[in-house]
Structure 1
Amino acid sequence: MGSHAQDAPAGPVGPYEPPYYVAVFTTVRTQEQSGYGETNARMEELVKDVPGYLGMDHAQTPGGLGITVGYFRDAEALTEWRTHAEHRAAQKRGRAEWYRSYTLHVAKVERSSGFTRAQEPSTG
């Protein structure tokens, strides 16, 4: 069960020229997770087809809080994703089975910057 995330060094989605939008989805999952992994992988593939989708960051705390941040060029891209038929079906199943609670925050980004440490020269 190898994941691409382990093959490449982890890194956040880089800054984009504002304005753009972020959707911050914060979750606490239930014990019932049957089918979640497959559905989540499918959503990660589907969202890439949305024109204006810029990328996604995800983190999970040891205490069970999951945070996914989706980046979108404009409100239209966000609306297209929110109303996508398969995504809507997954949302419904999430409320019925997978999530104890969640919050969704949508925000317009007004400022964006980043930092990457220079590679250390390899010795040997």
Structure 2
Amino acid sequence: MTDLAVKKLEAEFPEGTYDKYAAIMKRGVLEALTGFCEQDAEFAQAVFQGGSFEDCMKAVAKSCGTGISDMEAYRRAVQFYFPGADIKFHMTVNLCASVEAPEEPAEKSNPMLLDLTEFL
């Protein structure tokens, strides 16, 4: 279901007619909704069965004045597809990020293969 929801969003993304506010927010909202679909299959189903991405963006941009925060835009998008749902957001500050060495990717280790006949 997740793949279907993501494909639906991606297909509808370029097709809509967006006002200037929705046009600015649509890429970020698409990325957030894609991530939410990957996190929760029930939400993905709601997106797949729900309204169009264009209508979602109209709901997000409605009464936004001169602008809204990204978090509020994502919240409105989630609530368009799943009324009553909300989002959680967590940020931390790293004061030493500029002097820390970048993390190296974990080395891939070869899996250990066991021959069960050796235990007989």
Q: Same fold (TM over 0.5)?
A: no
With the length of structure 1 as denominator, give the TM-score of the two structures.
Answer: 0.28
Q: Which has the higher contact order (CA 8 A, sep 6+)?
A: 1
User: Which entry has the higher C-alpha Rg, 1 or 2?
Assistant: 2
> Greater helix share, 1 or 2?
2
